[in-house]
Structure 1
Amino acid sequence: MEYSSKLIENAVTEISRLPGIGKKTAMRLALYLLKQKESVSDDLAGAITALRKNIKYCSLCHNISDTEICSICNGKRRDKSLICVVEDIPDVLAIENTSQYNGLYHVLGGVISPIQGIGPDELKIDSLINRILNSHAEEKVKEVIMALPATMEGDTTSFYISRKLNEHQIKVSTIARGIPIGGELEFTDEVTLGRSILTRVKYSPD
């Protein structure tokens, strides 16, 4: 692609680094920003800079947050006896959009994948176990819902965590397989995802 301006070329190069955005889309976005008031670009740049510098991760569930403990973990109406274990932050957003779940979450930051060199120590599994075992009597965790991808890596991670929790007699369930094998939660429609949460079943590695 030929550029009449080095500034446009630089902008297109940086914008196209974002996932799902090719050079042509990046060009349209860059030209769109050029047609807007300068304050629009300033606001966008300011928001991105503030995001990178000021965003926090909840010390309990590892979800993104503006404070040390996120609004979900601090929610007065959340069922604190339930923890839904997910691979990453987009999965929390996907489940929340179904409005079918009122418990807490725990973001692992990935799934066990020996091929990619990701073992249990690279994930937030220990903090999950400690969180459950150290929960107070009035907020005792009674059930852990495995809402991980329906892949070999997701199943391996669910199996590993369930073995850890079985030692402490914690109920472990998994969302119903209404989600296609190999599917990712963030790309699943809200009806299917919501039904999967509501019709979860007891987890069994067999």
Structure 2
Amino acid sequence: MNYPSKLIEEAVNEISKLPGIGKKSALRLALHLLKSDQSQTEFLTRALTDLRTKTRYCRQCHNISDAELCQICSSVNRDESLLCVVQDTRDVLAIENTAQYQGHYHILGGVISPIAGIGPTDLHIESLVSRVRQNPEIKEIILALAPTMEGDTTAFYIQKKLADFEVTISTIARGIPIGGDLEYTDEITLGRSIMSRTISHTKGN
């Protein structure tokens, strides 16, 4: 693709690095920003810079947060007995959109994947174990991980780590396609999966 200037080319190259954006879409975005008021571009630049430099993570669940504790962890209206374990923030958003779950979350930050070089120590699994150990109000751990080989491996590992605790471990029902991601699952299917989760481990067993 031929560009009218080096500046446009550099902008297109950077924008096209974003997921789901090809060169043509990146060019349209770059030209839109060029034609827009300079203040709009400055606002976007400031928002992206703040996103990278000011974003915090909840010390308890590892969700993106504006404070030490995220809105969910600090809410008095959430069910303290339920703890849903997910891969990342996108899964929290997907489950929250179902309006079927009122418990708390724990974000792992990924799944175990030897091929990608990701092991248990690279995830927030130990903090999950500590959280369960320190909070006797937690009665059920819901493993809401994608039904992939990596997701199943991670779920199995977590079950072993929590086997000695007096908690029930359940997994969301497999209404989600094998190999699918939670964020792409429709809200009705995901909501039903949460509500009809299956028990894989009962207290102390």
TM-score bin (small chain): over 0.9
Instruction: Give the equivalent residue in structure 1 for 2:47.
Output: 47
Looking at structure 2, the residues matched to 203 and 88 of structure 1 have their Cα atoms a distance apart, in angstroms, of: 22
TM-score by length of 2: 0.95
Aligned-partner SS, 1:172: strand
Where does the alignment leave 5 or more consecutive residues of structure 1 unmatched? none
Deviation at residue 47 of structure 1 after TM alignment = 0.4
Instruction: Give the equivalent residue in structure 2 for 1:195.
Output: 192
Deviation at residue 161 of structure 1 after TM alignment = 0.8
Q: Is 1:155 matched up with 2:142?
A: no
Aligned-partner SS, 1:166: coil
Looking at structure 2, the residues matched to 82 and 191 of structure 1 have their Cα atoms a distance apart, in angstroms, of: 20
More moved, 24-33 vs 163-172: 163-172
Q: Is 1:146 matched up with 2:143?
A: yes
Instruction: Give the equivalent residue in structure 2 for 1:174.
Output: 171
Instruction: Give the equivalent residue in structure 2 for 1:108.
Output: 108
Looking at structure 2, the residues matched to 172 and 202 of structure 1 have their Cα atoms a distance apart, in angstroms, of: 6
Root mean square deviation, CA, Å:
1.0
Tell me the amino acid that sits aligned with residue 133 of structure 1: R
Whether the aligned pair in 1 keeps the contact of 2:100 and 2:191 (CA below 8 Å) is: yes
Instruction: Give the equivalent residue in structure 1 for 2:161.
Output: 164
Looking at structure 2, the residues matched to 170 and 46 of structure 1 have their Cα atoms a distance apart, in angstroms, of: 45
Looking at structure 1, the residues matched to 117 and 36 of structure 2 have their Cα atoms a distance apart, in angstroms, of: 45
Percent identity between the two aligned chains:
61
Tell me the amino acid that sits aligned with residue 161 of structure 1: I
Where does the alignment leave 5 or more consecutive residues of structure 2 unmatched? none
Q: How many residues align?
A: 201
Residue by residue, what CA displacement relative to the aligned partner does 1:14-45 show, whole Å, maximum 9, x if unpaired?
11111111100000111111221111111111
Aligned-partner SS, 2:138: coil
Residue by residue, what CA displacement relative to the aligned partner does 1:76-104 show, whole Å, maximum 9, x if unpaired?
10111111000111111111111111111
Q: How does 1:26-37 map to 2 (within 5 A)?
A: 26-37=26-37
Whether the aligned pair in 1 keeps the contact of 2:147 and 2:176 (CA below 8 Å) is: yes
Whether the aligned pair in 1 keeps the contact of 2:139 and 2:166 (CA below 8 Å) is: no
Residue by residue, what CA displacement relative to the aligned partner does 1:143-185 show, whole Å, maximum 9, x if unpaired?
0000001011111111111122121121000000000000000
Runs (4+) of structure 1 moved beyond 6 Å? none
